[in-house]
């Protein structure tokens, strides 16, 4: 593990202390968890943008975001991102699912 140092506003420090108290855990653990969640959300937003701009396939975007293909497909639907998805794409996905089992 690496050590990083960052200056944060007083308000964020108060929030960290509150989370530490409520979760009964040390500050470093709270910061690691919150940072991991924030990076995961950033990756998901980036993956959705890659799909929107047609810069990546669904599978590549899901891999980038570190989530399952079906999870990303669900988010794409919720975000109403149009897909150029053909019948041959569906067949290929079905074959990939069969191989994965």
State the Cα–Cα distance between residues 29 and 20, nearest whole angstrom.
9
Q: Can you give the residue ranges of every domain in the chain?
A: 10-100
Beta-carbon contacts of 75 under 8 Å, excluding residues fewer than 6 positions away, are: 44, 48
Higher pLDDT among residues 10 and 54, named by residue: 10
Query: Smallest Cα–Cα separation from 41: which of 4, 75, 8?
Result: 75
Instruction: Render pLDDT for 31-85 as a digit per residue (tens, 0 to 9).
Output: 999 999 999 999 999 999 999 998 998 889 999 999 998 899 999 999 999 887 7
Those residues whose C-beta lies under 8 Å from the C-beta of residue 31, and which sit 6 or more positions away, are 16
> Tell me, what's the pLDDT at 34?
97
Question: From CA 85, how far away is CA 51, in angstroms rounded?
Answer: 12
């Amino acid at each position: 593990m690496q050590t990083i140092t960052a200056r944060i506003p007083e308000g964020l420090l108060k929030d960290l202390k509150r989370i530490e108290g409520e979760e009964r855990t040390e500050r470093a653990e709270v910061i690691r968890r919150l940072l991991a969640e924030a990076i995961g959300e950033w990756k998901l937003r980036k993956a959705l943008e890659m799909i929107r701009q047609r810069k990546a396939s669904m599978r590549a975007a899901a891999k980038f975001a570190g989530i399952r293909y079906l999870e990303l497909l669900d988010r794409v639907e919720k975000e109403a991102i149009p897909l150029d998805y053909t019948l041959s794409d569906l067949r290929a996905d079905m074959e990939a699912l069969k191989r994965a089992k």
